[in-house]
């Protein structure tokens, strides 16, 4: 039995933490002693028999990560950073892991360098792996080359995606220089969830916060106009914002729930953004879908992923800047029926098996 330490930080959404929780649970299922150290706001995560350790919580107040605050909502200072660093290093020393997995770094999370660089230094004598999703947000300047160079210090880069569907070079071409270190695990699905009651509905889903506000507003207006006997809509928002009873009896407006994967499997059409977790659920559900990728500021991750879906005949796309009720209505009616899924979606289990290479 090996001791494995996994470090993850979520700053806005929860996708990073939930993906690594699934990996931690799969590694524990293989018989390893696994600890998941989570640095974002506390979450209820499905970690199986893996241990969840909450580090002093840090979050971002905006999509540009310009302001980082602690669990009291106060901007973090050097004293707070020192406490967070010491908590992480104390965990490492107490656990004495055989293998360390750091999520996203050095391709992202540069604001955590104060903590991660000492952690990686402490872990020099054990295997060190970087875990990344299928698409990365590449900086536009020389930092991209510097981060690729920093990645050479890792024993491997685990890409939670499928090379044949969406190679990491599509978002960060410089990663071609790391070919010998890159290992694809397949996509990491979330929990199987619960059985859903909805059937043959147009299912609209967005994450929490302001990121999905425009899609949510357009979808609600369109649902009010289109929903009638024979066409039912179910609108879900990650934080339940403005959810409640709709005037139209054929529209259900509610917070998201654990039955979401099954709901997609029974849907007539899915309308959503193109985040990692949602797209993995779409792959497994095999339903028709319309993707409206979040693209505020310099964000390109969801646009790249959505384009891969469209190129594979798996979705229709509407750019966020072009979104209106007329275009959304037309896209729903024209959404393609996706081909049989042959894209690897067993990434948690495969990651757990792959770790034997470095243990």
**What is the structure's pLDDT at 313?**
97
- 195 within a domain of the structure (yes/no): no
Whether 153 and 207 share a structural domain: no
**What is the structure's pLDDT at 324?**
96
* Residues 6+ away with beta carbon under 8 Å from 103: 6, 7, 8, 9, 16, 19, 20, 109, 130, 131, 132
- 155 within a domain of the structure (yes/no): yes
pLDDT per residue as tens digits for the range 141-198: 788 999 999 999 999 999 999 999 999 999 999 999 999 999 999 999 987 777 878 8
On the question of pLDDT at 242 being above 60, the answer is no
Whether 43 and 74 share a structural domain: yes
Residue 352 token pair: 């757990």
Whether 181 and 224 share a structural domain: no
* Residues 6+ away with beta carbon under 8 Å from 172: 107, 136, 138, 144, 148
Whether 117 and 207 share a structural domain: no
**What is the structure's pLDDT at 243?**
52
Q: What is the DSSP string of 42-74?
A: ------TTSEEEEPSPEEESSTT---EEETTSP
Question: What CATH number has the domain bearing residue 209?
Answer: 3.40.50.2000
**What is the structure's pLDDT at 258?**
85
Whether 68 and 155 share a structural domain: yes
Residue 339 token pair: 């081909």
Whether 177 and 302 share a structural domain: no
Whether 99 and 171 share a structural domain: yes
Domain count, the chain: 2
SS3 159: strand
**What is the structure's pLDDT at 239?**
54
Confidence of residue 237 (pLDDT cuts 50, 70, 90): confident
- 196 within a domain of the structure (yes/no): no
Most confident of the following: 69-73, 187-191, 306-310: 306-310
- 192 within a domain of the structure (yes/no): no
Whether 56 and 134 share a structural domain: yes
Whether 10 and 67 share a structural domain: yes
Whether 16 and 109 share a structural domain: yes
On the question of pLDDT at 241 being above 60, the answer is no
Place of tokens 């991660």: 116
Whether 100 and 124 share a structural domain: yes
- 339 within a domain of the structure (yes/no): no
- 180 within a domain of the structure (yes/no): yes
- 242 within a domain of the structure (yes/no): yes
Range of the domain at 122: 3-187+345-357
- 208 within a domain of the structure (yes/no): yes
Phi and psi torsions of 287, nearest 5°: -95, 160
Confidence of residue 297 (pLDDT cuts 50, 70, 90): confident
Most confident of the following: 119-123, 138-142, 145-149: 119-123
On the question of pLDDT at 245 being above 60, the answer is no
Whether 101 and 214 share a structural domain: no
**What is the rounded CA–CA span in Å between residue 281 and residue 188?**
10
Residue 157 Cα distances to 50, 182, 183, angstroms: 22, 5, 6
Confidence of residue 90 (pLDDT cuts 50, 70, 90): very high
Confidence of residue 230 (pLDDT cuts 50, 70, 90): confident
CA 281 to chain centre: 11
């Amino acid at each position: 039995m090996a001791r494995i330490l996994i470090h993850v930080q979520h700053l806005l959404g929860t996708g990073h933490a939930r993906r690594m929780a699934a990996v931690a649970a799969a590694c524990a299922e293989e018989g390893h002693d696994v600890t998941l150290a989570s640095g974002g706001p506390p979450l209820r995560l499905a970690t199986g028999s893996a241990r969840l350790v909450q580090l002093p919580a840090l979050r971002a107040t905006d999509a540009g990560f310009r302001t980082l605050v602690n669990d009291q909502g106060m901007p973090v200072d050097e004293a707070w950073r020192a406490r967070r660093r010491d908590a992480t290093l104390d965990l490492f020393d107490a656990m004495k892991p055989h293998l360390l997995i750091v999520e996203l770094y050095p391709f992202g999370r540069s604001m955590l360098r104060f903590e991660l660089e000492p952690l990686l230094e402490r872990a020099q004598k054990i295997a060190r792996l970087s875990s990344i999703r299928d698409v990365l947000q590449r900086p536009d300047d020389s930092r991209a080359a510097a981060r690729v160079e920093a990645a050479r210090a890792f024993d491997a880069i685990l890409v939670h995606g499928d090379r044949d569907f969406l190679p990491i070079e599509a978002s960060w071409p410089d990663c071609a220089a790391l070919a010998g270190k890159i290992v694809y695990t397949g996509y990491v699905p979330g929990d199987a969830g619960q059985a859903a009651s909805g059937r043959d509905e147009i299912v609209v889903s967005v994450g929490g916060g302001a990121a999905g506000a425009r899609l949510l507003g357009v979808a609600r207006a369109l649902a009010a106009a289109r929903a009638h006997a024979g066409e039912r809509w179910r609108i879900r928002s990650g934080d339940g914002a403005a959810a409640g009873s709709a005037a139209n009896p054929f529209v259900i407006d509610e917070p998201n729930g654990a039955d979401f994967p099954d709901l997609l499997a029974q849907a007539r059409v899915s309308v959503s953004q193109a985040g990692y977790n949602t797209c993995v659920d779409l792959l497994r559900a095999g339903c028709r879908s319309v993707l409206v990728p979040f693209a505020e500021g310099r964000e390109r991750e969801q646009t790249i992923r959505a384009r891969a879906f469209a190129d594979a005949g798996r979705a229709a796309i509407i750019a966020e800047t072009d979104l209106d009720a007329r275009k959304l209505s037309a896209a729903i009616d024209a959404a393609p029926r996706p081909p049989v899924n042959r894209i690897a979606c067993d990434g948690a289990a495969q990651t757990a098996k792959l770790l034997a290479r470095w243990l």
